[in-house]
Amino acid sequence: MAGMRTARRILAGGVALAAAGWALRDVPAELGVRPLNSGPDRAARIRRSRQFANGAFVNPMAEPTAMLTTPPVGLLGELAKDREQR
């Protein structure tokens, strides 16, 4: 009885391991493929990208936004009136 239980657990573990391996079989290839080696259409599209330079993608730095030192007068007036009933 205990031997059958152990055999079933080993079999269930093997099936689970095989299913996980089958599900993850293409993940390393997809993550490790070089973009320029993935086909002529994709390589041409990558080379045309404005963010692709010197063989790598470069994300532009965000431009700093100007902070207001004082709020606009009209905005303060609208806040003071509070015409809307909520």
* Per-residue pLDDT reduced to its tens digit, 17-63: 998 888 887 776 666 666 666 677 888 888 888 888 888 888 877 77
Contact 65, 73 (CB under 8 A): no
Cα 67 to chain centroid distance, Å, stands at 30
pTM for this model (two decimals): 0.35
Note whether residue 13 is domain-resident. Answer: yes
Note whether residue 25 is domain-resident. Answer: yes
HSE, CB side, 13 Å, CA atoms: give it for residue 80. 6
For residue 77, is pLDDT > 70?
Answer: yes
Note whether residue 55 is domain-resident. Answer: yes
Note whether residue 50 is domain-resident. Answer: yes
For residue 85, is pLDDT > 70?
Answer: no
Note whether residue 15 is domain-resident. Answer: yes
Among the listed residues 30, 42, 35, 40, the one whose alpha carbon sits nearest the alpha carbon of residue 57: 35
Note whether residue 81 is domain-resident. Answer: no
What distance in Å separates the CA atoms of residue 47 and residue 41, rounded to the nearest whole number? 10
Domain boundaries, position 8: 2-59
Note whether residue 86 is domain-resident. Answer: no
Note whether residue 74 is domain-resident. Answer: no
Total domain count for the chain?
1
What distance in Å separates the CA atoms of residue 74 and residue 51, rounded to the nearest whole number? 41
What distance in Å separates the CA atoms of residue 46 and residue 42, rounded to the nearest whole number? 6
